[in-house]
A = this chain, B = another copy of it.
C-alpha cells in the first residue's frame, strides 16, 4: 500500500465516441493504474456527457440575444459574476481540484477532436485561463508557466493513424513536438501547467494484440512516473528569457529557427 502522502488528484479529459476504442482503452488503463497507485481519479468523458462543443451565446445566461456577442467579454463577465453555465463551472472546479490533468484523445486532422477543442474553448474562461494578471507595458499577463492552473502537471495520451517516422524530426506530417505545439504550449502551458512529454501511440488503426500489450505496459510506466518525470522545459514568459514584446532574447535558443527555441 502506498503511503497516504503519495495520493494525488488526477483529472482525465476523455474524447472518443466509442467506449470500445483504443483511446477509451488507454483511458481505462489510466484509471486503473492511477487508482491502484492510490491516486484519486475523476474522468470527464465528453462524449458520454454529451458535452456542448460549440461556444455561443447560450453560454451566457445574462446575454441579451439582440446585442452583439463579444465572447471574451461575456466570458469574463459571467466568470467574475458567478453566472457561468453549470457545465463550464463544473469543469473549472475539476481543474482546480486536480493536481494532474490528462487529455486522452485520438489525433484528428493534427488536432483535438472538435468536442475536446470545444471543451477548451468554453471551459477556458476569460479571467480563469486567460486574461489573468496585469496586461500592458512590458508585461502580458500571467501565462506560459504562470496562471490559474500553475502547480499542476498535464500530459497528452494521444492515438494516431500515422506511422512514427511521419512525425519524426523530418517526417512529412511535421515533427510531433511542433504538431502538438498549439495544444501542449498553447492550451496546457499557457494557463500555467507543466507539460510532460506526450504518450503517443502510432498506427492505432493497425494495432494487434502484441503491440497493445507493449503499449499498455509502456503507458503504465509513464503513469507511474507522472509526478516524478521531468516536464518539457518550456520557457516561462515572465522569467527573463523574453523581452518586453514577449520575443525571445538574442542569444537564447541555440541558433535554432523553429519552435525548439522555446525549450530552455
A contact set with B: CB distance below 8 Å = 17-18, 20-21, 47, 51, 53-57, 68-72, 108-115, 117-118, 120-121, 124, 140, 144, 161, 163, 165-166, 168-175, 178-179, 181-182, 185-187, 190, 205, 237, 242, 245-248, 253, 256-262
User: Is the CB–CB distance between B115 and A114 below 8 Å?
Assistant: yes
Chain B residues with CB under 8 A of A140: 163, 166
Chain B residues with CB under 8 A of A111: 111-112, 117, 182, 186
Chain B residues with CB under 8 A of A181: 110, 174, 178-179, 181
Q: Give the distance in Å from the alpha carbon of A71 to the alpha carbon of B204 in the complex.
A: 13
Chain B residues with CB under 8 A of A246: 163, 165-166, 171-173
List 13 A-B residue pairs with CB atoms under 8 Å apart, sorted by A's residue number.
Answer: A18-B71, A54-B113, A109-B182, A110-B181, A110-B186, A114-B118, A118-B118, A163-B246, A170-B253, A172-B237, A172-B248, A174-B185, A175-B259
User: Is the CB–CB distance between B53 and A115 below 8 Å?
Assistant: yes
Given the known interface contacts A17-B57, A111-B117, the answer about A179 and B182 at a Cβ–Cβ threshold of 8 Å is: yes
Chain B residues with CB under 8 A of A56: 17, 47
Chain B residues with CB under 8 A of A110: 181-182, 185-187
CB distance from A169 to the nearest CB of B (A): 7
Q: Give the distance in Å from the alpha carbon of A133 to the alpha carbon of B185 in the complex.
A: 34
Q: Give the distance in Å from the alpha carbon of A116 to the alpha carbon of B141 in the complex.
A: 28
CB distance from A145 to the nearest CB of B (A): 10
Chain B residues with CB under 8 A of A179: 181-182, 186
Q: Give the distance in Å from the alpha carbon of A67 to the alpha carbon of B253 in the complex.
A: 50
Q: Give the distance in Å from the alpha carbon of A177 to the alpha carbon of B20 in the complex.
A: 37
Given the known interface contacts A169-B257, A170-B261, A174-B259, the answer about A205 and B114 at a Cβ–Cβ threshold of 8 Å is: no
